Amino acid sequence: MPIGSQELIRDINSRLILTQLINNGPMSRAALSKNLGLTKATISAIVQELIDKYLITELGSDNTSRGRKPILLSFNPYCGHSISIDLEYEKLTLMTCYLNGEQSQIHHYNNNRSDSEIVSYLISIIQEQLDILPSTPYGIVGICIGIHGVVSQNQITFAPYSPYCGIDFSTLLEKHFSASVYLENEANLSIIGEKAFCYHYPNMVGISIHSGIGLGLIINHELFSGFNGNAGEFGHTIVEVDGKPCPCGNLGCFEQYTSERSLLLDFTEKKHLPTASIEMLIEAYRTQDPIAIEIIQSFIKYMAIGINNILNVLNPNVIVINCALTTEFPLLLEQISALLKNRMHNFCHLVPSKLQGTSVLIGGVCICTKYFLGLQDLDFKINFSHEILKE
């Protein structure tokens, strides 16, 4: 067999072993051999290479077996760190953690930086974190930035509420840091995080509701982003003919009736307020304010319309809703579900986000880990915790 072919097969087998250990937890060499159909000699040789590379570690013995206790092997998430950033125009959130999301620290920053200032600001806050992270064999394996807009080939191509469209973040940041930089749509990152840590389904849809509406789509365990990254722009599907104007250029877009921005605009106008926050709307609804009730009922109606369209087109196993309103008032999901009257889709689960405000950041961790290890699908069997730091 040619040398190149041998190296390729060895690389494939290494990835299979890493995938087994990440997705199924610690196991012995014998279990790996059985699960993957590889000889024990092949497993032993590759395992030793991965140990030498600090990618896996040996744990204690397996106490469940009789006779000689086999040594358990585990993926070593502590071989490096990743940095995830959720980049919005008005705020910015940065998280550092190990490769499986453990020991994460989240930092919140106000952000009103212009397009000429944002890169230098990102460099300063990233470097600030690098200076205090503990040493690891691989250091920072990747930096992932969640973008509230369309991303294609690691570039922002459309961002209606952000001035950062056209900035080559990856090239500029990679010049400063010895790590790969990945840009991805925030809704895509959100559903990647939910799948890896919470809902292990092959076909999933994630709806992220914030200043706009994003949709992340997993088909057969893989992210689907379309021809040029525009798949999932669910907020710009039209639900009202000749409806409210949208920055995208269309009229009657879904997000003009369901996004936080549109709901708060409606709330401020009807309450004659100079400004309002989502917390104010939540409190008004909690105290049965008539205007808040009217706005939320409209939100429920349009959400049901949009979700019904998703069910008919995509037929997912589960739809994950990441929304401050449904997080605060879980009964809203039941009210939305009650309006989905199509009998063909009564098997689809409408569920809340378990990661909520950290879903974009956790999805970024998955992206960094997947590219670093060269893996396709991750299902982490852990519960992560993080420390929130505000600045």
Q: Bigger pLDDT: 160 or 166?
A: 166
Kindly state whether residues 43 and 100 are assigned to the same domain. no
Last residue of a domain, one of 13, 46, 75: 75
Residue 35, domain CATH: 1.10.10.10
Question: 226 and 168 in one domain?
Answer: no
- Phi/psi region, residue 237 (left: phi>0; alpha: psi -120 to 50; beta: rest), is beta
pLDDT of 278 higher than 90: yes
Q: Quick check: 191 pLDDT over 60?
A: yes
Q: What is the pLDDT at residue 343?
A: 56
Q: 295 and 254: one domain? A: yes
Q: Are residues 305 and 225 in the same domain?
A: yes
pLDDT, one tens digit per residue, over 175-188 is 999 899 999 999 99
Q: How many CB atoms lie within 10 A of CB 228?
A: 12
- Domain end point (choices 58, 75, 92): 75
Domain range enclosing 138:
79-192+358-390
Q: Give the other-Cβ count within 10 Å of 352's Cβ.
A: 14
Residue 185 forms beta bridges with which residues?
147
**pLDDT score of 118:** 94
Q: Is the pLDDT of residue 380 over 80?
A: no
pLDDT of residue 64: 59
Tell me what pLDDT residue 89 has.
79
What pLDDT score was predicted for residue 376? 80
The verdict on 140 and 45 lying in the same domain is no
Do 349 and 227 fall into the same domain? yes
Check whether residue 322 and residue 347 sit in a common domain: yes
Give the confidence band of 345 by pLDDT, cuts at 50, 70, 90. low
Report whether pLDDT(127) > 90.
yes
Task: Kindly report which listed range (49-53, 189-193, 232-236) carries the lowest average pLDDT score.
Answer: 232-236
When pLDDT is averaged across residues 332-344 and rounded to a whole number, the result is 82
CA–CA dist 119, 176 (Å, integer): 10
Residue 377 has pLDDT above 80, yes or no: no
| Residue that wins the pLDDT comparison between 390 and 76 | 76
pLDDT the model gives residue 382: 56
Asked if pLDDT for residue 62 goes beyond 70, the answer is no
Residue 105 corresponds to which amino acid? Q
pLDDT level of residue 390 (50, 70, 90 thresholds): very low
Average predicted confidence (pLDDT) for the chain: 90
When divided into structural domains, the chain yields a total of: 3
Mark whether 165 and 263 lie in a shared domain: no
280 and 322, same structural domain? Answer: yes
pLDDT at 213 over 50: yes
Res 227 pLDDT > 50: yes
User: What does 188-225 look like in DSSP terms, one character per residue?
Assistant: HHHHHHHHHHT---SSEEEEEESSSEEEEEEETTEE--
In Å, what is the CA distance from 373 to each residue of 14, 25, 71, 382?
Answer: 10, 16, 23, 19
Question: In this model, does residue 391 exceed pLDDT 50?
Answer: no
Output the domain CATH number for residue 256. Answer: 3.30.420.40
pLDDT category of residue 388 using cuts at 50, 70 and 90 = very low
Same domain, 237 and 94: no
Model pLDDT, residue 369: 95
Q: Using CB atoms within 10 A of its CB, is residue 255 exposed (0-12), middle (13-18) or buried (19+)?
A: buried
Domain boundary among 41, 59, 75: 75
Average pLDDT over residues 267-293: 95
**What's the pTM?**
0.90
One domain for residues 232 and 320 = yes
Q: What is the pLDDT of residue 28?
A: 93
- Give 57's strand partners: 74
Q: Please check whether residues 309 and 271 belong to one and the same domain.
A: yes
DSSP calls for 43-71: HHHHHHHHHHTTSEEEEEE-TTSSSSPPE
User: What is d(CA 209, CA 73) in angstroms, rounded to the nearest whole number?
Assistant: 40
- Between 347 and 91, the higher pLDDT residue: 91
pLDDT at 389: 44
